[in-house]
Amino acid sequence: MGDTLRFDGKVALVTGAGGGLGREYALALGARGAKVVVNDLGGDIKGGGASSRPADLVVEEIRSKGGVAVANYDSVEDGEKLVQTALDNFGQIDIVINNAGILRDRSFARISDMDWDIIHRVHLRGSFMVSRAAWPHMRKNKFGRIIMTTSAAGIYGNFGQANYSAAKLGMLGLSNTLAIEGAKNNVHCNTIAPIAGSRLTETVMPPDMIEALKPEYVMPLVLWLCHEDCEDSGKLYECGAGWMAALQWQRTKGVVVRKPGQPMTPEAVRDNWSAINDFSEYTNPSNIAEANATMYEAMTSMAEHAPSSNNTSAIEPDR
Ligand code: NAI
């Protein structure tokens, strides 16, 4: 076994760290030498109200064990303020764990604009605001570790969670691109889909399950992903109860449905439907170039009528 993983000299910001999973991350980082910004708005699970108490309690606990921590009570929607707390107190920001979250479960037939918007504001926009504020500092220091917290509801869908599923999978898309844009400056971004007993899940889980799914069983994965020795970026992990696994896209071999010189028809799609959906021979494209290569190959095989390559991913954006 290797040495203990330490975070001395690192500054970590954990959003929603006043309870549940975020509290575990903050306590563990504090115990292992990181200076920690404990952010929590202190509201209820639906996003109402505010209190400084949850963040204060975690800060006190870290300090009582000899660690260094400060509280921040702003909403993640004000990402700049959270990062400014790290800069003002510790002069840098190395680790961001986007963890704050609320729920507004509602079947799609009954969902309101507010149910949709507030979930997106806190989860997706909040993670964007916090990460964007930290980004230039991480790039400049040539070190950054960002965690996005998605959910099985986002990956697989879940009844009553259209708003939450959409926002949570949006965070995975954000993470995938941050991993690409951060690579050359050693800024990594990974996504976790945790499962844990907390105030968000205590109403839907029986007590023995809450007991078996302690937030402290998710913490080790998050700490490893935040450590300077971890080289992975742009990955997705499911984690709970001490079990963890990586997850990736899987694609069927695919079928060229168009025949050179002939019109392409819906009937041809129907007639090839089982082959199009046949996962017995699959691939796992891991980036956009690899994913598009198959299509370009098919395009070349139909060269007679192929359009010119128009790969939008190759367009150089303003940096
Ligand atoms: P929790 O409710 O115990 O912790 C979330 C914390 O975020 C709370 O302390 C809350 O005050 C804080 N918060 C809420 N809105 C905020 C805002 N706008 N700004 C700052 N802080 C805010 O819940 P839990 O279970 O620890 O969840 C943590 C994250 O994990 C959430 O993003 C949740 O969606 C995600 N998650 C949790 C799962 C579970 O099984 N517990 C499953 C899948 C995802």
Ligand 1 surroundings by CB, under 6 angstroms: 15-16, 18-22, 39-43, 45, 47, 54, 75-77, 99-102, 122, 126, 149, 151, 194-196, 198-201
Residue nearest atom 11 in ligand 1 by C-alpha distance: 42
Count the domains in the chain: 2
Structural domain includes residue 6: no
Are both 15 and 154 inside the same structural domain? yes
Are both 275 and 155 inside the same structural domain? no
Q: What is the CATH number of the domain that holds 105?
A: 3.40.50.720
296 is catalytic: no
Domain boundary among 232, 247, 262: 247
Enclosing H/E stretch for 68: strand 68-72
CB 198 within 8 A of CB 20: yes
Are both 280 and 298 inside the same structural domain? yes
Cβ-proximal residues to 137 (8 Å cutoff; 6+ apart), any chain = 83, 87, 92, 93, 144
Q: What is the CATH number of the domain that holds 307?
A: 1.10.287.4290
Condensed to tens digits (0 to 9), the pLDDT of residues 59-70 reads 999 999 999 999
DSSP 98: E
Are both 207 and 266 inside the same structural domain? no
Residue 309 confidence (pLDDT): 47
Are both 152 and 257 inside the same structural domain? no
Are both 163 and 198 inside the same structural domain? yes
Domain boundary among 247, 280, 300: 247
Q: Which of 21, 23, 83 to mutate to test the pocket of ligand 1 (most atoms within 8 A of CB)?
A: 21
Structural domain includes residue 1: no
Two tokens, residue 102: 């609320």
The b/e string for 117-154 (b: 16+ C-beta within 10 A; e otherwise) is: ebbbbbbbbbbbbbbebbbebbbeeebbbbbbbbbbbb
Structural domain includes residue 3: no
How are beta strands 236-240 and 187-194 bridged, if at all? parallel
Structural domain includes residue 24: yes
Q: Which of 99, 119, 130 to mutate to test the pocket of ligand 1 (most atoms within 8 A of CB)?
A: 99
Are both 243 and 281 inside the same structural domain? no
Residue 319 confidence (pLDDT): 61
Structural domain includes residue 183: yes
Are both 84 and 162 inside the same structural domain? yes
Structural domain includes residue 181: yes
Are both 24 and 154 inside the same structural domain? yes
Distance in Å, CA 260 to ligand 1 centroid: 53
- The vertex-30 CA angle with 29 and 31, nearest 5°, equals 90
Structural domain includes residue 291: yes
pLDDT in tens, the chain (319 residues): 579 999 999 999 999 999 999 999 999 999 999 999 999 999 999 999 999 999 999 999 999 999 999 999 999 999 999 999 999 999 999 999 999 999 999 999 999 999 999 999 999 999 999 999 999 999 999 999 999 999 999 999 999 999 999 999 999 999 999 999 999 999 999 999 999 999 999 888 999 999 999 999 999 999 999 999 999 999 999 999 999 999 999 999 999 999 888 899 999 999 999 999 999 999 999 999 999 999 898 888 887 554 544 444 445 566 6
For residues 94 and 186, what is the distance between their CA atoms, to the nearest angstrom? 11
Cβ-proximal residues to 72 (8 Å cutoff; 6+ apart), any chain = 13, 37, 38, 39, 40, 55, 81, 82, 85
Handedness of CA 73, 79, 84, 89 (dihedral sign): positive
Domain boundary among 217, 247, 277: 247
Residue span of the structural domain in which 279 resides: 251-314
ipTM of the prediction greater than 0.90, yes or no: yes
Distance in Å, CA 266 to ligand 1 centroid: 45
Are both 146 and 274 inside the same structural domain? no
Are both 179 and 291 inside the same structural domain? no
How are beta strands 95-98 and 11-14 bridged, if at all? parallel
Distance in Å, CA 25 to ligand 1 centroid: 12
Nearest-atom index, ligand 1, CA of 45: 2
Are both 34 and 105 inside the same structural domain? yes
Condensed to tens digits (0 to 9), the pLDDT of residues 79-135 reads 999 999 999 999 999 999 999 999 999 999 999 999 999 999 999 999 999 999 999
